[in-house]
Chains A and B, each alone.
Chain A
Amino acid sequence: MEKVIGIDLGTTNSCVAIVENGQPTVIPNRGGYKTTPSMIAVTEAGKRLVGHIAKRQAITNAENTVYAAKRLIGRKWSSPQVKNAIATSSYRIVEGPHHDCRIVLRDKEFSVPEVSAMILQEMRVIAEDYLGAPVQKAVITVPAYFNDNQRQATKDAGEIAGLDVIRIINEPTAAALAYGYGRNVEKTVAVYDLGGGTFDISILEIAQNGVFKVIATAGDTFLGGEDVDARIVDWLVQGFKDEHQLDLRQDRMALQRLKDAAEKAKCELSSVKETEINLPFIISSGRNEALHLQRALSRAVLEELSADLVERTIDICKQTLDDARLEKDEIDEILLVGGMTRMPKIQDAVSKFFGREASKGIHPDECVALGAGIQGAALVDESHEMILLDVTPHALGIMTFGSYFEELIPQNTTVPTSRTKIFTTSRDNQTAVKILVMQGESEKAEDNEVLGEFILTGLRRAPKGQVEIEVTFEINADGIVSVRAKDLETSLEQSIQVTATSGLTRDEIKNMIDNAKEHMVERRVSEEFEGLKQEAQKLAAEIEKLFPQVEQIVAASDFGREAIDKARGIVARVKVAIDKKDTASLKEQIEGLSRTQRMFKGVVAKGQ
């Protein structure tokens, strides 16, 4: 059966999981970490860095390091979120050719799906290295509030990364899937997800038939663990300034170290009451000496520093419950997702707000990827009973008089579906109506996303309210939305087909796929060469070490001298192959090297 990986493509960290022998498992990366920072960078030498290594140089190479690309994916250049990102990001964001946004790294423009594809490709490589086989199919998670364009852009990112994205599922749904895996649950759960860069609270209804309904979701895309890190950095910077009258923020290297140390201290304080931050040679005093930073940070101080941030998440929870017209006691279970929820203060605040302890049954960093992995396995394994139905992530409707949004298809409706509503003209003698197709939950049209528009003309001149127009929304099994408007008097009609767009054309996506493939081939070749090189260097070093002894033993015979010359020839050829980065030649020589090493060892052993 084909393996399907589940990917949690997070704002700050990503994670990949798979179901093996019926057991959902998170796959660690090469460094042994189960999560990989969702960061990519291009170095001065043009080298591409992904994950931890990109994170380690994120401040010193800030202009060329992309983080939180997820905040931009599928967004239009004119959207307020993009404006916000432009104001707060250290990397350059420019307008793309289709009113989308592009990221400039070392003078080269990348589309946002392309950047996300680099992270997805890394997750794919992690899975392939683990499985020892190519991986094609994937289920990727997205926040519940993502609209169709954002979902399509995520799908495109997967395609660019060489993945066949068989399903996009909501993150809270994935967390709930991981929670409900192997048990029969029928509950209303609250998923409190506080990650590195974003906060989401979602209320879900888990029904026995496999339907996970997102009843309400809200959050803050600029609130997360990084804000807590920033508070620690501020505290350290201020303390150092008080002591040495020097501002560590002025030095990028110092700031990078501070940020890394702050994150580490924050994590440590989830399990210990106090930790020491020790950063020797943090900055030059300007008097030819380097200064050291050494400070103890207690959990109590950390809680004080981050109290308002925790409070903000609780306020959002409160608002979300109000919006969903739900009482706290209607929530059966609270699931904590995201690394930040390990912080005892957050666990306390959540318990206090909901009036109950949060579930300990899921892993905060891994559950979303595990849920995606579970869904992936279910989709290819027909014997699996559990299925997740495709639902509309947002309500669909049209704009009506007064800039209001009239909903036709409610959020969470199972697809395929079709709904019809009758509207009337809003002005006397109106001969045409403009149908503005929108997606969202806000009553105000301006707060929702415009998916498309068309005009129905040839209406009879009549007082307002007399001409009736029937509007039909239809979503087919592939998620394609068709909207039709019909003048009921004349039967004249107009229609539009709305397909989600990531802001990229098919040609652009094709080019990006080719580029990504090329990069992948180069990477694999380079990895193969490095592996062979290390093996060859090890063997050559052993042979060179044995030369004097072997020479001493066999120097008397012509045969021995000939063997030594041959061995020297092989070692020399290996060095040339390494210098020329010739993988094929190196592969050829390794066999000879290995034989020589065995022979030399035998000669030395016999001679002793």
Chain B
Amino acid sequence: MIDDNDDLDGGWDDADPEKDRPTANPSPPATAKATARPANRATPKPDEAPTKPKRPTPPVLRLDSASAFERPDPSAVISRRGRGALLDLADGAQDDLARAPEASEALDLVAAEVDRHDEPAHSPPVVPSPSPSTRDVDPTREMRERFSLGDYSGALVVAESILEDDPAHQEALRCVESCRMVLEQMYTARIGPLERVPFIAVPQEQLRWLNIDHRAGFVLSHIDGACSLEQILDVSGMPTLDALRILYELVQQRVISFR
């Protein structure tokens, strides 16, 4: 099972995969995490988490101005980390995700997720629950923190939850826009040129045995060997980021490929 949020944001980081996670969020209990992640993932193993020294919580930046959520220039992101680092990370992610999970693993994972959160595993990206000490953290502050730490998926989820209560929340609106743009750039960089035409690499009769959800099924239904990725994004009818995320997962699972 692919947890794209972890992989994407984490994948762009230097060395410490936890760096883009808000330090205020504790790692989930070791037992829960062990069942929730396949053993071969590149992200820190749960049993390592307690031994790893946590970085101190950085001072919360004041991000009141509009510029706080300005989209970071993706090229700047790349140059900051180095082109090589980007490629390494991309390769690493492939190592991490290329192998389709065994059916049994997938089932275990789903069951664990359901047990833990009591919600479907394909629901929107899971934001680690705040620890008891930070349960009363102001969501706006949490959104700013996550954004400043480069946890764009996390910041996006928090910002969207703020907007559910207050659709006119200007800061959250800016944050959503910025996060989406950055994440779209990241996924696009990983998928490759959008004019490429994907095809379904799995025999038709085996399609139904894939471990994908109905949204991925919908995207898959648009892949006909003639439409380019760009056209599929246009017709998917879902936000570009969601469609890109699904396409990325399908590529990683080798459900789709390119000629």
Contact = CB atoms under 8 A, between A and B. Distances in A.
Interface of A: 31, 43-45, 47, 49, 53, 56-57, 59-61, 251-254, 256-257, 260, 279-284, 286-288, 290-292, 530, 533-534, 537
Nearest to A294: B208
A280 B217 contact: yes
B193 A290 contact: no
A57 B235 CA distance: 5
A45 B240 contact: yes
A583 to B, nearest CB: 15
Contacts of B239: 44
Contacts of B227: 53
Contacts of A253: 214-215, 218, 237-238
B122 A288 contact: yes
A257 B213 contact: no
B207 interface: yes
B91 interface: no
B122 A280 contact: no
A47 B214 contact: no
A56 B231 CA distance: 10
Contacts of A260: 221
26 contacts: A31-B226, A44-B240, A45-B234, A45-B240, A49-B234, A49-B235, A56-B235, A57-B237, A60-B237, A61-B237, A252-B237, A253-B215, A253-B218, A253-B238, A254-B214, A254-B218, A257-B218, A279-B221, A280-B217, A281-B217, A281-B220, A282-B214, A287-B120, A288-B114, A290-B217, A533-B195
Contacts of A292: 208
B169 to A, nearest CB: 21
* Closest 10 pairs between A and B when the two form their complex, measured CB to CB: A60-B237, A281-B217, A57-B235, A253-B218, A288-B120, A56-B235, A280-B208, A290-B214, A284-B214, A281-B214
Interface in B222-244: 222, 226-227, 231, 234-240
Interface of B: 110, 114, 120-122, 193, 195, 207-208, 210, 212-218, 220-222, 226-227, 231, 234-240
Contact of A288 (B121, B210, B236, B237): B121
A87 B216 CA distance: 33
A256 B238 CA distance: 13
Contacts of B221: 257, 260, 279
A61 B240 CA distance: 13
A256 B235 CA distance: 11
Contact of A282 (B193, B217, B234, B237): B217
B124 to A, nearest CB: 13
A195 B25 CA distance: 60
Contact of A283 (B208, B214, B226, B231): B214
A530 B122 CA distance: 36
A527 to B, nearest CB: 12
A251 B214 contact: yes
B227 to A, nearest CB: 8
A290 B208 CA distance: 9
Contact of A530 (B121, B195, B215): B195
B226 A56 contact: no
Given A60-B235, A290-B214, 19 more contacts: A31-B226, A44-B239, A44-B240, A45-B234, A53-B231, A53-B234, A53-B235, A57-B234, A61-B237, A253-B215, A254-B214, A280-B208, A281-B216, A281-B217, A281-B218, A282-B214, A282-B217, A283-B214, A287-B120
Nearest to B216: A281
Contacts of A287: 120
